[in-house]
Structure 1
């Protein structure tokens, strides 16, 4: 897949990602492991990495501060991902992932509010970049104290430039993105239930489709993903088998797939769903978030896609 126009990602709460691999994690025990693998992370950065790996033009807009921010900026520069970093006083947070042969355990620092001046600078950088973008991705958590209007303002920037937007966040920010009219929303099942108060994914997704949002993609973990469009039937896609690996970047890979297609002008729900699930599955096979296995093409061919109904086990 190749997007002619820029995939622009905004990460309001970046992190210095540290990943350790352990054969088997036993709580309360001591583990001897190799040195951590360290990357500039946060969900939007992972989206940009995956999209760039697959040939898209990308630009990542985020913040950087403190000692961790120095390491964050250096790693991002060495990775070759084009970026605009807004300098802030608050230190860039850290994220720890411990991956064993069963699953991944993740500890995410909450982050700190960088302040009103930093938010203005982040918005200005987004406005400057949006003129050449084909899609605007707002991805990840917000630090405590972030302004309520931040996500809606970013969505409105996309609208003002006539481009699609995709938002992957949680809680009130997800609801705010829906009210602002984000083109695509990408919660996981837990985030959707938290935001809407509804445990059933289809019912929860439909509450987000009252305005201009065209599609909700809901990650169901090992059970695949559903696509709930504004018009038309809901679809469910999954692989016929469960993959074992590191799931920490799977959702970001799904967003990357959708963003590359949206940047190219593709909005068909089934096409977006198929790519999102295939890339998400391919991310599980990689040791670090922000990359996908070349097997994504194979996975796309083997997906099982069916109509989704609340009575289905998913």
Structure 2
């Protein structure tokens, strides 16, 4: 499969005993790694013994650090260098909370037409494509819809994890699965409840919606089927990469043609296992194995 990250980042994580506003802290552990939603998805996919290629946009010295980290970790990449400077994120994690600072990243400076064609060419050569994350300034807001159409023309399927207008455009483009969380879903559609927001995205043209509901699991809905999968218990930790882990499970399910309920079951268990790990793009594999049989799935009326 292929994952696309248009706004890749260098993720810096500080682990502290207890975060207190306005106080000095001793950093118990500091980690810097390549990040961005599609990169996190690929890390999880590869940690489960599958393969994924990473593409997207990088720039400047931070972009070089992103590429170096991926190569050190043995992850396959075909990233595109563009003008400007890639962004960084800062995540401060203690035993109970995760506090995140996200740079926006520079606007795209040069080379969008070339970068787009290179990414679309890659996308057409993969059966399962994951396109996720924010859209940098200078990139067309309908970029995910363009990716969806290119992959569909080649006979593939696409999962999109986006927000705002980019999410709506991906729905209009016919994305096979959209994976917003509840807040993103309501913000993009302007609705006040999940059911109406999901219905709007399906009416726009999305094949299915996998809505992340935090501790309440995942609701998957298409025109003819509704599943609600819930974890056995709450997991405390860093929720940053939980949605990316869920997308990884859904992508593997498409790649290996699992039944839908199995894909959703794995998405919930893998999401919980990601919360238990302090770094986005990583999961607690023991918790994943223990959580999987405990996930409950309810089939609702469509």
| Residue 48 of structure 1: how far off its partner (Å) | 0.6
Map 1:164-175 to 2 at 5 A: 164-175=157-168
Could you tell me which residue of structure 2 aligns to residue 87 of structure 1?
Answer: 81
Whether the 8 Å CA contact 1:84–1:125 is kept in 2: the answer is no
Could you tell me which residue of structure 2 aligns to residue 32 of structure 1?
Answer: 26
Alignment of 1:101 with 2:95, yes or no, is yes
Could you tell me which residue of structure 1 aligns to residue 187 of structure 2?
Answer: 194
Alignment of 1:75 with 2:69, yes or no, is yes
| Residue 157 of structure 1: how far off its partner (Å) | 1.4
| Residue 23 of structure 1: how far off its partner (Å) | 1.5
Q: RMSD value over aligned CA atoms?
A: 1.7
Whether the 8 Å CA contact 1:50–1:253 is kept in 2: the answer is yes
Could you tell me which residue of structure 2 aligns to residue 271 of structure 1?
Answer: 262
Alignment of 1:289 with 2:283, yes or no, is no
| Residue 211 of structure 1: how far off its partner (Å) | 4.7
Could you tell me which residue of structure 2 aligns to residue 229 of structure 1?
Answer: 222
Could you tell me which residue of structure 1 aligns to residue 139 of structure 2?
Answer: 146
Could you tell me which residue of structure 2 aligns to residue 214 of structure 1?
Answer: 207
Provide the rounded CA distance (Å) in 2 between the counterparts of 1:44 and 1:16: 13
Map 1:299-314 to 2 at 5 A: 299-307=291-299
DSSP-derived class of the 2:170 partner: helix
Could you tell me which residue of structure 2 aligns to residue 4 of structure 1?
Answer: none
DSSP-derived class of the 2:270 partner: helix
Whether the 8 Å CA contact 2:16–2:29 is kept in 1: the answer is no
Q: Size of the alignment, in residue pairs?
A: 301
Could you tell me which residue of structure 2 aligns to residue 3 of structure 1?
Answer: none
DSSP-derived class of the 2:285 partner: coil
Whether the 8 Å CA contact 1:202–1:228 is kept in 2: the answer is no
Structure 1 stretches of 4+ moved >4 Å: none
| Residue 174 of structure 1: how far off its partner (Å) | 0.3
Q: Gaps (5+ residues) in structure 2?
A: none
Could you tell me which residue of structure 2 aligns to residue 312 of structure 1?
Answer: none
Provide the rounded CA distance (Å) in 2 between the counterparts of 1:73 and 1:201: 38
With over 3 angstroms needed to count, the CA separation of the structure-2 counterparts of 1:88 and 1:126, relative to structure 1, is closer
With over 3 angstroms needed to count, the CA separation of the structure-2 counterparts of 1:146 and 1:123, relative to structure 1, is closer
DSSP-derived class of the 1:248 partner: coil
Could you tell me which residue of structure 2 aligns to residue 180 of structure 1?
Answer: 173
Could you tell me which residue of structure 1 aligns to residue 271 of structure 2?
Answer: 280
Map 1:236-251 to 2 at 5 A: 236-251=228-243
Whether the 8 Å CA contact 2:14–2:92 is kept in 1: the answer is yes
